[in-house]
Amino acid sequence: MARAAGVSAKTVSRVVSGESNVAPATRDSVLEAALALQFRPNRLARSLRTGGVTTTIGFVVGDLSNPFYAAVAAGVERELARHGMTMLLAATEDDPAAERTVVGALLAERVRGLLLVPTAPDQSYLEAEQRLGTPVVTVDRPAHGLVADSVVLEDARGAHEATTALIDAGHRDIAFLGTSGTRSTQQHRRDGFRSALADAGLAAQPGHDLLGPYDDGLDAAARDLLAGQDRPTAVLTGDNRASASVVRALGTDLSTVAVVGFDDFELADALGISVVAYDAAAMGRQAARCLLDRLGVPADDAETELADVPPRTVLVPTRLERRGSLASTSTP
């Protein structure tokens, strides 16, 4: 390519890198030749020379077909693209044993940073990598055995607020249906549920405080909870999957039990179901921003240098979206 333009490789490099000290005439002829030869600078070679500094970041997600993670990924992609970086996406299929392999594959691609939804019980294996200069930010859940930035929801506060709203609406027998006792988010949401009950001098009825883990049995658990004689007058779900199961269990007859879902979901508004909502895409954007801060890529409204601040935990706020479902015909 360089020879085709009648200049040295270095001059081509200068042109494509946008360096200033090139004669306009030279620049033009180089650009012309580049166009003719379909020349595209090789970012791989550049990364190699500059010491493995790539423009890709890795995002390890559990299951992309979950709308929540998809929305987070959309936010990540968007924020990265704004800074000329791209997202290498890998999924663990929610298999804890797969996490390390998947992370390894991304690191072998020399990603410049790592975003991770932790699935494995322990992330200490990342410590060495972190020290070698690859920043790690966890999303949705904090890491275990690793000090890292994390972007998480106000799980407990959101659940507390929702539960309190149900209590204020007159409910006394409120149930919680979580999906997985091994997930810290589900635990925190139940904690918020319990503390709100306790604050009102109440407690969950036996069998009305469920945390799973349910794999395929979620629909059945919802049916059991809502079909019995002693069914609760209100339910708070642990996530959008649980919300879907509750709707399936109740059919379209949503007026008999008050429902608040954790996670907003499509049609929740049409069905009049109250939800604990938040901006999932913003979560992704904030996580990406955390990583970019560590990499020294300034934000648009750049003020201070954030590459060396101590590990941060960014709390993403939730808001209770009040819809018809807060009350119900069986309200006492």
Partner DNA sequence: TTGTAGGCGTTATCAC
Partner DNA sequence: GTGATAACGCCTACAA
Cα distances (Å, whole numbers) of residue 258 to 134, 230, 251: 47, 15, 13
Residue 206 or 251 with smaller CB distance to a copy of itself: 251
CB of 88 to a copy of itself, least distance (A): 6
Cα distances (Å, whole numbers) of residue 197 to 185, 191, 276, 320: 19, 10, 17, 17
CB of 58 to DNA, least distance (A): 18
CB of 3 to a copy of itself, least distance (A): 19
CB of 9 to a copy of itself, least distance (A): 15
Residue 185 or 243 with smaller CB distance to a copy of itself: 243
The listed partner (a copy of itself, DNA, none) that binds 318, CB under 5 to 8 Å by sort, is none
* Rounded Cα–Cα distance for residues 277 and 188 (Å): 16
User: How many residues make up the chain in this entry?
Assistant: 332
Residue 15 or 258 with smaller CB distance to DNA: 15
Question: Contact residues for a copy of itself (CB under 8 A)?
Answer: 38, 40-45, 47-48, 52, 54-56, 63-65, 67, 70-71, 73-74, 77-78, 81, 84, 86-91, 93, 102, 104-110, 128-129, 132, 244, 247-248, 251-252, 254, 265-267, 269-272, 281
User: Which positions ≥6 away from 328 have C-beta within 8 Å?
Assistant: 233, 234, 255, 256, 257, 258
DSSP string, 272-293: T-EEEE--HHHHHHHHHHHHHH
Residue 9 or 309 with smaller CB distance to DNA: 9
User: Which positions ≥6 away from 256 have C-beta within 8 Å?
Assistant: 250, 328, 329, 330
Q: Are 238 and 211 in contact (CB under 8 A)?
A: yes
For residue 48, state whether it binds DNA (rule: CB under 7 A).
yes
Q: Of these, 8, 182, 313, 329, which contacts DNA (CB under 7 A)?
A: 8
Look up residue 199 and give its amino acid: D
Binding site for DNA (CB under 7 A): 1, 6-14, 16-17, 21-23, 25-27, 40-42, 45-46, 48-52
